[in-house]
Structure formats: structure tokens, C-alpha cells
Amino acid sequence: MSQRKAPSDAGRATIRDVAERAGVSVASVSRVLSGNYPVSDELRRRVMKVVRDLDYVTNAHARSLAGGGTPTVAILINNITGAAFAHVAKGVEGAATLRGWLSLVGTTGDDPERELALVNLMRQQGVAAVVLLGGAYDYDEYQLRMARFARSLDAAGSHLVLVGRPPLEGDVPATTVDYDNESGAYAMASHLLSAGHRKILVLPGHAELTTARSRLNGARRAFEAYGVPFDPGMVRHGPYDYEHGYEAVETSLREGVDFTAVLAGTDVVAAGAMQALRAAGLRVPEDVSIVGYDDIPLASQLTPQLTTVHVPYEEMGRVALRAVADRREGGPGRRRSADGEHLVLGTHVVVRNSVAPPARRD
């Protein structure tokens, strides 16, 4: 009675239960299920019947332990509710599913502590790769931290992928999938400048965020190219959210800052800015033009529809997964060849209705 386990016990059925009930060996059941070894039709039929009767599924943990197992990719993200990140996640998840891979998600909430804990957790899980999403706060410690992650994962047979942030310095075993952030900002700013705008309020994001820096740099280069002096006083840093956009514009208006256009760091910031302008009785784009960045669905749902920079988020996700899958399937032969690989995708301006020539001053 207390042999090892009652066959009809509470927990899930094991391969042994199936074997016993079908009157075959455990090995045979395993072979029927994995299908990588010749088995007679008779045996297959018998086993499959029992499998259906018992509603048996193999234990993934045991399978992983024994060598097999489905590869898993972990997606680490600041905030799961961000639209841009959701699209990257969609790309990763979709591509993973396509190959039968599994995906885990974890949110870091911008907490380095938690990020470390998650990376370790994923290492325990033996994931094929850890995909870190979104811009980084480039403090001094950052490079060291990431390098440590990369080496740690690499030593464990896993791999670090950075999506949406610049590549690491030095010889670090990590893959980077990035987009041409600075060129996008350059093009976007040029668009405003060529429409005649000269007094432009710039809301690039947090000063330490790599993404914000690139966008600011791109804008600055555009100003230079147009021979327009870049006024640091027209730059307002802050988080990538609606409230920041709103407050930055509201404050600027109250302080009497003179501007005819707003160059927002993201579409969401642009939405906030637009609302603040409207609240102050200003029309978009007749009185003030606005542009965003990201081209999330919101951009085309605003009124007026937002001129912005398209970033191929979903594709970045797909590319990221493909990179790790290739590397894994490439085998030992070319395993090392792609270290520090850096993929860059293009961006382009999407012209909609939020930009007009500056209003004539009276």
C-alpha cells in the first residue's frame, strides 16, 4: 500500500504510471513520446491510449534535468505597461513561440537590486537568454554591472541581450539590438527646423537615460546643421510620462518661455504636452507644433495625429530572439564568433498632422 506511490495518487501521473498501466517499460514510453527512436505501431498505440486516459504530460523539470527540455528566454522589463516595451515583448514572445520556446517575464521597476535578483533567478532557471529591455541609466556602475551579468550568464551557458540600449564597452559576451536613435532625433528635429521653427521646447527625458541622451544629441546636431544656436535653457528633463509632458509645458508657459514647437522625447510626453497647450487655449498645430518619438498606437489616435519617429519595436524583439536562437543552433563551431554582436535597426519620421509652420508673431 505504501510501496512507492499509489498509482491513482493525488499528484500528477508519472511516466512510470503510464508504463505500468500499458505493460511496457519506462524507456518505451519515453521513446514513444519523444519520437526520436523507432517503435512498433502496436506499442505506440498502447502507450498513447494510456497517455490520453491518464491525461499525462511529461514533467518539464525532470526533462530539463535529463538533458532535453524546451529552451526558455527571459524578458526583463522596467514596467510592463509601457506601450513600446509591450511591442518588443510581443516580438520576442512571438518569435519564441514560433520555435517552441517559452518566455518568462519579470519586471524590475527600475530597481537595480531587483534586476540583480531577477538575473540570478533566470540563471537558476537555466534560460537560454536574458533579454533586458529599454534604455539604461548610465551611472558609473552601470557598465561594470552589465559586464558582470554578461559574463555570469555566459559562464552558465546562457546569454545576455540588450534591447534598446547602446552596446557595452570592451570585450563583453553580450548581444545588442538597438535602433538608430540619434538619427531619428536628428530627422525629427530637422523636420521642425525646416518648417521654420527656431524656438523649440525640448523634452528629451531623464538626463542619465541613454535613450534620452541619444535623442538630445540628435536634436542638437540638427540645430547645428541648420546653424541655429542650441539654447540649453529650452531643455526640460524628466520622466517619460504624460504628467511630465503636461507639467513641462504648463511651467514653460507660466514662466513666459517663448516657443513655437515642442520636441517631445516620447509620444506619451507629447500627449501630455498637447493637453497642456490645449488647456492654455493654444491650438495644435496652428499655434504650436508638436512632435513625438516611438510611433506607438497612441500617436495616430491623438487629435491631431502626431508626427513622430517610427521605431521598429516589434521587429527588434524578433531580431533579438533570432540572434540568440542562431547562436544556440550555430553550435560550438561559431559560438564565439558573434560575441559582442551589435545589430542596429533603422528609424524614420512619420509625418502626420501635428506640425505647421510657426505662427506669425504680432
At its nearest, how many Å lie between a second copy and the CB of residue 75? 8
Find the DSSP H helices in the chain.
15-22, 26-34, 41-54, 60-65, 83-98, 112-125, 140-155, 181-194, 210-225, 242-254, 267-279, 297-301, 313-334
Position among 43, 137, 152, 348 found at the interface with a second copy (CB under 8 A): 152
1 touches a second copy by CB under 8 A: no
The answer to whether residue 12 forms part of the interface with a second copy (CB under 8 A) is yes
**Which lies closer to a second copy via its Cβ, residue 90 or residue 322?**
90
Candidates 143, 199, 275, 339; binder of a second copy (CB under 8 A) is: 275
Residues paired with residue 345 on neighbouring β-strands, in sequence order:
179
Size of the site for DNA (CB under 7 A): 35
**CB-neighbour burial class of residue 96 (10 A; exposed 0-12, middle 13-18, buried 19+):** buried
**Residue 89 contact among a second copy, DNA, none, beta carbon within 5 to 8 Å by kind:** a second copy
Q: Which of 48, 102, 257, 359 binds a second copy (CB under 8 A)?
A: 102
Binding-site string for DNA from residue 40 to residue 59, where x marks contact by CB under 7 A and - marks none: x-xx------------x-xx
| Partner in contact with 28, chosen from a second copy, DNA, none, beta carbon below 5 to 8 Å by kind | DNA
What kind and span of H or E run contains 344? Answer: strand 342-345
271 interacts with, out of a second copy, DNA, none, CB within 5 to 8 A per kind: a second copy
Q: 4 contacts which partner out of a second copy, DNA, none, CB within 5 to 8 A by kind?
A: DNA
187 binds, among a second copy, DNA, none (CB under 5 to 8 A by kind): none
Between 22 and 200, name the residue whose CB sits nearer to DNA: 22
Nearest to 232 by CA among 274, 202, 263, 275: 202
Q: How far apart are the two ends of the chain, measured CA to CA in Å?
A: 96
With CB under 5 to 8 Å by kind, the binding choice for 103 among DNA, a second copy, none is a second copy
How far apart CA 251 and CA 206 sit, in angstroms, is 17
Q: Do the Cβ atoms of 343 and 176 come closer than 8 Å?
A: yes
Query: According to CB under 7 A, which residues from 236 to 265 bind DNA?
Result: none
> Are the C-beta atoms of residues 311 and 347 closer than 8 Å to each other?
yes
Q: Residues 199, 345: contact at Cβ < 8 Å?
A: no
Least Cα distance to 171 among 5, 357, 342 occurs for: 342
Minimum Å gap between C-beta 145 and a second copy is 14
* Number of Cβ atoms within 10 Å of the Cβ of 124: 9
| Spatial separation of the C-alpha atoms in residues 261 and 276, rounded to whole Å | 13
Nearer to DNA, 39 or 80 (CB): 39
State the pairing for strand pair 348-350/308-310: antiparallel
Binding mask 290-329 for a second copy (x = CB under 8 A): -------xx-xxxx--------------------------
Q: Closest Cα to residue 208, out of 148, 135, 114?
A: 135
Q: For residue 289, what are the β-bridge partners? A: 261
Which among 155, 175, 156 is positioned nearest to 167, based on CA atoms? Answer: 175
Residue 61 binds to a second copy (criterion: CB under 8 A): yes
Q: Is 64 in the site for a second copy (CB under 8 A)?
A: yes
Segment 4 to 43, residues that bind DNA, using CB under 7 A: 4-5, 11-16, 23-31, 33-34, 36-40, 42-43
Please tell me whether residue 278 binds a second copy under the rule CB under 8 A.
Answer: yes
Residues in touch with DNA (CB under 7 A): 4-5, 11-16, 23-31, 33-34, 36-40, 42-43, 56, 58-59, 62-63, 65-68
Residues in touch with a second copy (CB under 8 A): 10-12, 55, 57-65, 69-70, 79-81, 83, 86-87, 89-90, 93-94, 97, 102-107, 114, 120-121, 123-126, 152, 155-157, 242, 268, 271-272, 274-275, 278, 297-298, 300-303
